[in-house]
């Protein structure tokens, strides 16, 4: 557990974990890789949130699918797929 709480890889006991941490924090390519991983994760989280909001709107049945798509920045096809999943 100690190593997971360490911010500095030089303080870690487990060499493999320290090396990987050093790569992602200090190596130019590692930092770029980690930035890409984080960007992808954030994109996925945002997309999931949009779909959650669209699902709530679909449940309310107050808006047309095209309006929901526009408000949630989703495609009409994505909203229609969510609507199908909701009725299944």
User: pLDDT tens, 5-20?
Assistant: 999 999 999 999 999 9
Q: How far apart are CA 82 and CA 59, in angstroms?
A: 11
Q: How far apart are CA 39 and CA 44, in angstroms?
A: 9
pLDDT of 86 > 90? The answer is: no
User: pLDDT tens, 28-76?
Assistant: 999 999 999 999 999 999 999 999 999 999 999 999 999 999 999 999 9
pLDDT of 88 > 80? The answer is: no
Q: How far apart are CA 57 and CA 45, in angstroms?
A: 19
pLDDT of 84 > 80? The answer is: yes
What's the pTM? 0.75
């Amino acid at each position: 557990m100690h190593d997971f709480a360490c911010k500095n890889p030089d303080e870690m006991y487990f060499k493999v974990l320290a090396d990987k941490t050093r790569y992602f924090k200090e190596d130019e390519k590692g930092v770029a890789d980690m930035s890409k991983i984080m960007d992808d994760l954030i994109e996925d989280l945002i997309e999931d949130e949009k779909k959650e909001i669209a699902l709530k709107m679909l449940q309310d049945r107050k808006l047309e699918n095209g309006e929901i798509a526009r408000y949630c920045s989703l495609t009409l096809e994505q909203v229609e797929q969510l609507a199908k999943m909701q009725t299944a």
